Amino acid sequence: MEFFNSADLLHALPLIFLMSWATILLLVAAFARAASERIMPALAAAGLLLTGYFAARQFGNPASAFNGMFAADGFSAFITLLLVLSGLLAIALSSDYLKRMSLNRPEYYVLMLFSITGMMLMASAADLIVVFLALELLSIPLYVLAAFAQPEPRSEEAGLKYFLLGAFASGFLLFGIALVYGATATTSLTGIFIAAQSGLEQPLYLLIGAALILVGLAFKVAAVPFHMWTPDVYEGSPTSVTAFMAAGAKIGGFAALIRIFIVALPSISEQIVPVLWALTALTLIGGNLLAIAQNNVKRMLAYSSISHAGFLLMALVVYGQDAARFDVVASALFYLLAFIITSSGSWGVVIALEKQAGKGLEFSDYAGLGRTQPVLALAMAVFMLSFTGVPPTLGFAGKFYLFRAVLEGEYVGLAILGMLASLISAYYYLRLIVVMYMQTGNPKIHSERWLNLTTVGAAIGVVVLFFASEPLFDLAALALLHVN
């Protein structure tokens, strides 16, 4: 048996390229320190762009590589493109922020790229072992990034907390993998599917294993009740890291969830869907209710990100239904896209207002922004409306497709719950608009070129892409899972 051939390398090209690029950048950072501080963002962005180019070429010819452990299909290509986008946005948000906060160390970008490779691998993993590897590759750089503002105690706390709880979650995942292996004698996703079809001696092990895998990944996507780390980590981390984490970690986690459940576990959907249903309901209600109580914008956005994980989980609930499966993947991917753009933009506004030592993050610090900074405030208002799902924004299109998938799966109760969650969320999103436009104050902002460009660009994108949601959704619909 040969371990791999040259075709395999070609299929994994985006991943291999980015990994090598990140390694080279690490060397650059080590040997050309002074220069790298300046050029590192550009180099990292160039690497991501090339990765995106390689990934875009993979659309339409699905393949499996490395003895079926690695899948290169439309799904992984689309996820890679999403990751490239969120990575680019994160770099644009980071470059000036890091200088301002005197955190400008070139390793930052290297860690980010490594984490992105982990996320990409999550989307391509066709074997549970690879899922685990990908998860660790995704997480470990994020732990470091969360603590990047050391010796700031809150950032250190965030890193440590994230690391400890993340390690705990990895344990769950591994234990789940072990149980699934025990039940099916394989870790390959397709193998698990076939084994489950042909009858198991211990079907209970598969079920428990699947539930534990769900717990491990639910931790990564911050679903209630596995969300406890999120607000503290999001608040303590440097804001640019938070922006990246909110988008990237979510993409990675959901990519793995979608592939594992749809490819390997359709046979136990009857038992696992109630669990998913409950998880979704808790996440939707919990995330939104907790967000209402926040007075810190960073924490509010953290809880809001939890609630959006709930919306994404809604799509997963439908996974067991053959008829709706196509729309499940497409609508979840589209929702992710809408979320990434909206979320990155809103973090951009937060970064623009943030001051040293965690100041400038309260709701009251946003008072009067509508008058003093009309453009920035308008952008933030657009993001909040998009989060709420008010037309004409990308967030509305995302919810529209998502709810459609849920209704197609005939989960009317879940759809109503999701609508209620949107309604609750409107309260705290609107509250920020109220503060910005209807209270008086004189907030100072940092006007930085890339930051402004990202925020305004994202706001325009949120509105304009709504009217062009058709090609985007078509692209997401191309992102079919390849089942070999």
Partner 1 sequence: MDFLLQPLNLVIFFPLLGVLALLFLKERESLARWVSLITALITFGISLWVLGLFDAANPDLQLTVVRDWIQVAGWNIRYAVGVDGLSILLVLLTTFLTPIAILSTWRAVEDRVRDFQLFFLLLEVGMLGVFLAQELFLFYIFWEFTLVPMYFLIGIWGGPKRMYAAIKFFLYTMAGSILMLLAILWLGINQGSFYLPDLIAIGGIPADIQYWLFIAFAAAFAIKVPMWPLHSWLPDAHVQAPTAGSVILAGVLLKMGTYGFLRFNLQLFPQTSVQLAPVMGVLAVIGIIYGAIVSYPQSDVKKLVAYSSISHLGFVVLGLFALNQQGISGAILQMVNHGISTGALFLIVGFIYERRHTREMDEFGGLWKVMPVYAVLTLIVALSSMGLPGLNGFVGEFTILLGAWGGGVANGPYGSYLFAGLAAVGVILAAVYMLFMFQKLFLGPVTNKKNEGLKDLSARELAILIPLLVLIFWIGLYPQPFFALIGPAVAKLTASFSGIAYLPIP
The contact set with partner 1 (CB under 8 A) reads 326-327, 330, 370-371, 385, 388, 390-392, 396, 400-401, 403-404, 407-408, 412, 415-416, 419-420, 422-423, 426-427, 430-431, 433-434, 437-439, 469-470, 473-474, 477
Helix (H, G, I), strand (E, B) or coil at 188: strand
In whole angstroms, how close is the CB of 269 to partner 1 at the nearest point? 21
54 versus 401: smaller Cβ distance to partner 1: 401
Residue 267 near residue 207 (C-beta atoms within 8 A):
no
293 versus 423: smaller Cβ distance to partner 1: 423
The CA distance from 191 to 268, in Å, is: 15
185 versus 419: smaller Cβ distance to partner 1: 419
32 versus 412: smaller Cβ distance to partner 1: 412
371 versus 482: smaller Cβ distance to partner 1: 371
The CA distance from 155 to 143, in Å, is: 10
In whole angstroms, how close is the CB of 374 to partner 1 at the nearest point? 8
In whole angstroms, how close is the CB of 72 to partner 1 at the nearest point? 24
CB atoms within 10 A of CB 152: 18
36 versus 280: smaller Cβ distance to partner 1: 280
Q: What is the DSSP letter of 358?
A: G
CB atoms within 10 A of CB 6: 6
The CA distance from 364 to 232, in Å, is: 20
Residues with Cβ within 8 Å of residue 143, at least 6 apart in sequence: 159, 162, 163, 166
126 versus 300: smaller Cβ distance to partner 1: 300
Read out DSSP for 97-160?
HHHHTT---THHHHHHHHHHHHHHHHHHB-BHHHHHHHHHHHHHHHHHHHTTTTT-HHHHHHHH
First to last CA, the chain: 19
In whole angstroms, how close is the CB of 370 to partner 1 at the nearest point? 8
Tokens for 11? 């299929």
Number of H helices, E strands in the chain: 20, 2
In whole angstroms, how close is the CB of 480 to partner 1 at the nearest point? 12
Ramachandran bin of 444, using left for φ above 0, alpha for ψ from -120 to 50, beta for the remaining angles: beta
In whole angstroms, how close is the CB of 144 to partner 1 at the nearest point? 40
Cα 148 to the center of its chain, rounded Å: 20
Residues with Cβ within 8 Å of residue 458, at least 6 apart in sequence: 89, 341, 342, 344, 345, 348, 379, 383
296 versus 372: smaller Cβ distance to partner 1: 372
88 versus 426: smaller Cβ distance to partner 1: 426
